[in-house]
Structure 1
């Protein structure tokens, strides 16, 4: 008797090349409309599929997990973050969770550097003015921004993406790098950049002209950057967030931007996205992107293929390469 292929559901559209492989290797159900699945649909998926392939836009808190008759044995997440999944409950229910690390490092660092440059040099404001027909021509005092070269970059979370951002800043723009990381980081890469590890987040905030966040989201780091810490930054400093939206207290950030406590911010992620507070949208000295960190063809395909590798390994009974629990 022919062995049945594992039933898997892909919660959003993935690159066509990856979906083709999934269709060949598994009994795959795709979300043709590409609209986020409802909580009811996600809960039903646990009862009907051997694996669920979610993304950061799929919230999987405790209430989504059925109390009994769970068929799902694997959550093969499309992305490196997993704060949208109740990891403890997944572990308790015997569900393996995997992620797609490594492959999105460079693209996310590219976006972080793009945000830094854009907010420092006011390119978003300038483009809006020009498109609206408000540019009256060059003059010496028009749209004055902040020089980037030679300034100090502070990194919060010196992992793969934090190091990639630091490389771009140091070797590309001659920036000094200071950083905070929970564990000691002392390797050839950081030494080559002359990057200095400081004892606390507050130490980094006090010294940096630009602060770039590269730490995990979730309960432990929720509102890590709050009103007090925004107040600890230099008045002329800028905050860049390509990590997770919940790391920043958005109300406190709006207040800091409007009151001039910091000079500006660049955001690619939001707390409760895709909702973005109107107060942020209405604030001029912030650059806003719609979660584009990994949005290149090469990276999104690589992420999908990494998830496929985890799927294949799991259902062949081999250790999964990117297991969280």
Structure 2
């Protein structure tokens, strides 16, 4: 069977080689960078059985999807940057990584929570400057033990965040757009949480789920963490909450525009912004590729692939 492996151009060659080496030798692999012209994608996808796309996304018009395609396999968890609707119209199943990044994102979420609680950015800077503890002597810092953490989005990642928080002695509240056992109403979770962490996909139902109303319900000094999608938070409402000194800290691994991060965010001491790296780890990529290989084998045997997101 033939496979097209499409990847972000900036992905280092050794990483591309590492991932492709995990594909069974019985598959013929063609490499195709995201920057390749549509004509090249059209030719390649007409001649292939399975197309693999690395994270960051490549939106292709549906007419480029060949009739021979049996599966579009994403190495990412999210799929909002792909033309899933177009693939569905052509009857092509699209599968994501089956939660391969869940452990890495859950660990990173805990990292951000602890870093904000303990004032890590400011203390790192003081350490680099050879300075001692600041004049508050730690009275402005907090432990995670005993805090109420609201988890909005209780899928692969949210559930793993919950598991890890339990070892810190945190009280956990959960909410999801789908019914889950022991969940709290969203407003109740927001009102009672010391820390709120977001783990939802971006879609019309979740976009702006944290807006002016929700910020108004939050405790003063609440810590907000987002390792999911920037669209979940209304930017203007966030800036208003920061201006009103509503938040005690902010940890973002996703922002609306990486090139134009608002100066109001950068000027605050207890704000951490990282470039969407929560899921980035060698183990994540390896797990995603091994999951993809498992789906290749399903296709080769005429079976249905796993973790299909368009119900085909």
TM-score by length of 1: 0.82
Task: Return the offset for 1:23.
Answer: 7.4
1:119 to 100, 116, 121: 116
Equivalence for 2:151:
155
RMSD between aligned residues: 2.6
Cα displacement string for residues 165-204 of structure 1 (whole angstroms, at most 9, x for unaligned residues): 112212x221111111233333xxxxxxxxx5212x2211
Residues 30-179 of structure 1 correspond to what in structure 2 (within 5 A)? 30=31, 37-38=34-35, 41=37, 44-49=40-45, 50=48, 51-60=50-59, 64-67=60-63, 70=66, 73=69, 74-131=71-128, 133=129, 135-138=130-133, 141-142=136-137, 144-170=140-166, 172-179=167-174
> 8 Å contact 1:257–1:285 — kept in the other structure?
no
> 8 Å contact 1:10–1:28 — kept in the other structure?
no
Equivalence for 1:192:
none
Closer, same or farther: CA 281–25 of 1 in aligned 2, 3 Å = farther
Task: Return the offset for 1:43.
Answer: 6.9
Partner SS, residue 293 of structure 1: coil
> 8 Å contact 1:11–1:52 — kept in the other structure?
no
> 1: CA distance between counterparts of 2:68 and 2:41?
8
1:299 to 284, 298, 310: 284
Cα displacement string for residues 16-50 of structure 1 (whole angstroms, at most 9, x for unaligned residues): 4431133734332336xxxx724x73674244222
> 8 Å contact 2:62–2:90 — kept in the other structure?
no
TM-score by length of 2: 0.85
> 1: CA distance between counterparts of 2:52 and 2:74?
5
Task: Return the offset for 1:236.
Answer: 0.9
Equivalence for 1:277:
261
Q: Which runs of 5+ in 2 are unaligned?
A: none
Closer, same or farther: CA 22–139 of 1 in aligned 2, 3 Å = closer
Equivalence for 1:191:
none
> 2: CA distance between counterparts of 1:152 and 1:42?
50
Partner SS, residue 149 of structure 2: strand
Closer, same or farther: CA 177–90 of 1 in aligned 2, 3 Å = same
> 2: CA distance between counterparts of 1:25 and 1:115?
42
Partner SS, residue 28 of structure 1: strand
